[in-house]
Structure 1
Amino acid sequence: MLRLVEREAPGPGAGEVRVRIVVSGVNPTDWKARAGSRAGQPLPFAEVVPNQDGAGVVDAVGPGVVGLTVGDRVWAYLAAHERPTGTAQEFAILPADRIVHLPDAAGFELGASLGVPAMTAHRALTVSEAGPSRLGPGALDGRTVLVAGGAGAVGHAAIQLARWAGATVITTVSSPEKAALATAAGAHHVVDYRATDATAAIRALAPDGVDQVVEVSPARNAELNARVIANHGSIAVYATDGGGEMTLDVRHHFALNVRYQFLLLYTVGREALTAAAEDIVHAVADGALPVGEDAGLPLTRFPLERAAAAHDAVEAGTIGKVLIDVSAA
């Protein structure tokens, strides 16, 4: 159960900073974590402040921290991973290596929308055998990327990052409303799989197949991916929407040298996280990761005292990004 309490703000320890949180971002993993790793099992800590993502201002710096000073505008990622202190609070004590400078032109709502979605998208776009390990303008020139579920938060970030890096971006959606959001995000081509033959539509756009797939629903889309993937294509799986088991035609995938890459942001390792954070800051500075309905990611906002309602909204499948306004900018 989530409840709002008043506490004294502690000081940061060695290697930590205290951040005055302005906006906290809510992800599906945040409400899922409240149920424990498995039904009926206790949480890892007696009390947890939720939410992995957020943005705000550095308020205090602990011993040994370099590169961060009081007053810096920052965004945070994996704030509550293996820790009891997430971003749904006015002052959060966080490891310095999970804090990233927020470019001056970016608002705190953008900073709080990065983290899990943008870093997951970055990883999905950088695990292909023939693709780049880092993103930037031109990194994906000449490649075709298929983003499954382009109206979701990760899909939205994947569209934006892939287009920024020079890819031709195709995305699949399930309704005209979601198609409009994916188009606003920057997708070159949008396929409504409920209204058309998705295989035929994608093959018409990419006759030689797609080079990379950013996949949210591997079980549901396994057959489609097999039909549209190019030789030496890569399918990056970041979620299990639609079921946790899938069936693959082994001979078909052999023949095309297809790579399936599964990824979980929480266990990808420091090198991948650092690379993602650096490239995302570059993209933000270039204006490539805007949020809001005009940019394809509607924002639904709640005050801190309604954090439980914010979690409920994410659990209910609210389209776009759910944010909690914690304090004044």
Structure 2
Amino acid sequence: MKAISYTKTGDPDVLRLTERPTPEPGPGEVRVRVTVSGVNPTDWKNRRADRPAFPEVVPNQDGAGVVDAVGPDVRGLEAGQRVWLWEAQWQRADGTAQEYVVLPARQAVPLPDDASFDLGASLGIPALTAHRALTVAETGPSRLSPGALAGRSVLVAGGAGAVGHAAIELARWAGADVVTTVSSPEKARLATAAGARHVVNYRTEDAAEAIRKLFPDGVDLVVEVAPGPNAALNQAVLAPNGTIAVYANNGGEELTLTIRPHMVANARYQFVFVYTVPPEAKEHAVADVSAAVADGALRVGDEAGLPLHRFPLERTADAHAAVERGVVGKVLIDVG
């Protein structure tokens, strides 16, 4: 079978098209014929690590395809079933940038017939991260469903990104009033298409003032992609007992806070790293994201606010480079 792999870390050109034996599923595993592979920032960051985690690595955590073979002791999945994949390459050598991948059955989730493989390959890391960010507030909820966030206000920083897009859609599905910050009119269009009720361009207006006009009592939850640069803004707009859920370090590793205002507000900072989320919370996230897909609440494509950028398998290096330079939208690789 065809696969993309690397044996040393570095620039995208370390990625090579190779031929590998088709793997066989073991107990509790399934083999999936990959149709579409999704690329996330962690994929290129792993590729740029000090050294490979394994002698040979096939990159990419997310994907979608069809179950091709089922190992012993697998229940609920069968050959021919459409699935979306999550964390395929976490602590493993084999990701989704190959024609067939074997992985634990719980990481292959049924994909409804009316949901595209493009959508399936775009879920995984972004949607599970967004779910975690939306469910870490002290006052709950710990699960998402229609009405679960009713009466809550959510600020999504960077609503045109993949996680921001998923956070907007999941928050709206759960009944929240969503405001997002963007840096251009085009990103404002995408965030609006995703479902954000309010969009604030922080380059052309005072974001804190604009958000406070919309929510005089402050926002209950912030889904934060750039905690350092946005620290003052979050302090200015957070409601009492509010939560700032940080899932990325855009803008740098340093975060400086003024203690007293956060203390008085009983504010909570919660850091989110989707790969090490507690197992029960991960199971809930997978189930809730699947329910949102079934409800048609999660969408991809320009008209849905998440433009798709496609590459063939042999151009996986170009796909990684696109994500690394911060292309707006979702980068997908056509595998099968």
TM-score relative to the length of structure 2: 0.95
Q: Which residue of 1 aligns with 2:38?
A: 25
Question: Deviation at 1:133?
Answer: 0.2
Distance in 2 between the 1:145 and 1:130 partners? 14
1:130 to 139, 145, 148: 139
Question: Deviation at 1:246?
Answer: 1.0
Over residues 57-79 of structure 1, what are the superposed CA-to-partner deviations in whole Å (9 max), with x where a residue is unaligned?
00001111111111110000000
Distance in 1 between the 2:88 and 2:322 partners? 21
Distance in 2 between the 1:118 and 1:14 partners? 28
Q: Specify the code of the residue in structure 1 equivalent to 2:91.
A: E
Distance in 2 between the 1:9 and 1:283 partners? 33
Q: Specify the code of the residue in structure 2 equivalent to 1:233.
A: G
Q: Which residue of 1 aligns with 2:266?
A: 257
User: Is 1:15–2:28 an aligned residue pair?
Assistant: yes
Q: Which residue of 2 aligns with 1:241?
A: 250
Question: Deviation at 1:131?
Answer: 2.4
Q: Specify the code of the residue in structure 2 equivalent to 1:201.
A: A
Question: Deviation at 1:26?
Answer: 0.3
Q: Which residue of 1 aligns with 2:47?
A: 34
Q: Specify the code of the residue in structure 2 equivalent to 1:125.
A: L
Q: Which residue of 1 aligns with 2:8?
A: none
Distance in 2 between the 1:35 and 1:97 partners? 28
Q: Which residue of 2 aligns with 1:96?
A: 105
RMSD after superposition: 0.7
Distance in 1 between the 2:200 and 2:23 partners? 50
Distance in 2 between the 1:203 and 1:119 partners? 29
User: Is 1:188–2:197 an aligned residue pair?
Assistant: yes
Q: Specify the code of the residue in structure 2 equivalent to 1:83.
A: R
Matches within 5 A, 1:73-222: 73-222=82-231
Q: Which residue of 2 aligns with 1:66?
A: 75
Q: Which residue of 2 aligns with 1:308?
A: 317
Q: Specify the code of the residue in structure 2 equivalent to 1:9.
A: T
Distance in 1 between the 2:287 and 2:188 partners? 30
Over residues 18-55 of structure 1, what are the superposed CA-to-partner deviations in whole Å (9 max), with x where a residue is unaligned?
0000000000100110122xxxx321101000000000
Q: Specify the code of the residue in structure 2 equivalent to 1:198.
A: A
Distance in 2 between the 1:207 and 1:103 partners? 41
Question: Deviation at 1:12?
Answer: 0.5
Over residues 178-214 of structure 1, what are the superposed CA-to-partner deviations in whole Å (9 max), with x where a residue is unaligned?
0000000000000000000001000000000000000
Q: Specify the code of the residue in structure 2 equivalent to 1:56.
A: G
Matches within 5 A, 1:265-276: 265-276=274-285
Question: Deviation at 1:315?
Answer: 0.5
Distance in 1 between the 2:182 and 2:20 partners? 44
Question: Deviation at 1:8?
Answer: 2.1
Q: Specify the code of the residue in structure 2 equivalent to 1:323.
A: L
Q: Which residue of 1 aligns with 2:300?
A: 291
User: Is 1:4–2:17 an aligned residue pair?
Assistant: yes
TM-score relative to the length of structure 1: 0.97
Over residues 274-324 of structure 1, what are the superposed CA-to-partner deviations in whole Å (9 max), with x where a residue is unaligned?
111100011011110010000000000000111111001111111000000
Distance in 2 between the 1:8 and 1:256 partners? 58
Question: Deviation at 1:135?
Answer: 0.3
Question: Deviation at 1:259?
Answer: 0.5
| Structure 1, 115-124 or 41-50: larger mean CA deviation | 41-50
- Report the identity percentage: 68
How many residues matched? Answer: 323
Question: Deviation at 1:103?
Answer: 1.4
Ranges of 4+ aligned residues in structure 1 off by more than 3 Å? none
Question: Deviation at 1:269?
Answer: 2.4
Distance in 2 between the 1:221 and 1:276 partners? 27
Q: Secondary structure at the match of 1:56?
A: strand
Over residues 241-283 of structure 1, what are the superposed CA-to-partner deviations in whole Å (9 max), with x where a residue is unaligned?
0111111111101101101000101111221111111000110
